[in-house]
């Protein structure tokens, strides 16, 4: 079995949660998100991030605003919506339950 594939699938499964958590702290531009995810050892490319951000926006979990840039094209800054905050709370509860369950199972030695 390929452990890299399994690890990639695990990271993909929590990416929405991580993105919403980061944007909940402050509005963010895509490169800011990528930098913060890399700091957390989650290497994500724009090609993965943009479709996810679009899906979250279409679900009304995120909104965005345009800001002019001094060094290039305008930038799209994402912020979490009230609906997104409720969804994030649900994800946080699910994460807490999941990690507690996994820890209980894996630490039974």
For 59, half-sphere exposure in the C-beta direction (CA atoms, 13 angstrom radius) is: 16
What is the residue extent of each domain of the chain? Answer: 3-107
pLDDT in tens, 38-61: 999 888 888 889 999 999 999 999
Q: Which two tokens stand for residue 95?
A: 């994460």
Which pTM does this prediction carry? 0.87
86 phi/psi in degrees, rounded to 5: -65, -45
pLDDT in tens, 76-95: 999 999 999 999 999 999 99
CA distance 86 to 72: 35
**pLDDT > 90 fraction of the chain, expressed in percent and rounded:** 74
**Closest to 78 in 3D by CA, of 26, 35, 39:** 26
Q: Tell me if the domain spanning 3-107 has CATH number 1.10.10.10.
A: yes
């Amino acid at each position: 079995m390929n452990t890299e594939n399994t690890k990639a699938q695990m990271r993909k499964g929590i990416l929405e949660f991580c993105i919403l958590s980061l944007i909940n702290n402050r509005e963010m531009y895509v490169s800011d998100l990528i930098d913060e995810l890399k700091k957390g050892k989650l290497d994500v490319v724009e090609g993965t991030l943009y479709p996810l951000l679009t899906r979250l926006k279409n679900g009304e979990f995120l909104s965005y605003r345009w800001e002019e840039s001094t060094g290039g094209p305008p930038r799209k800054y994402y912020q979490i919506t009230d609906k997104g905050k409720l969804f994030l709370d649900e994800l946080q509860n699910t994460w807490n339950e999941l990690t507690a369950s996994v820890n209980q199972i894996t630490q039974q030695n």
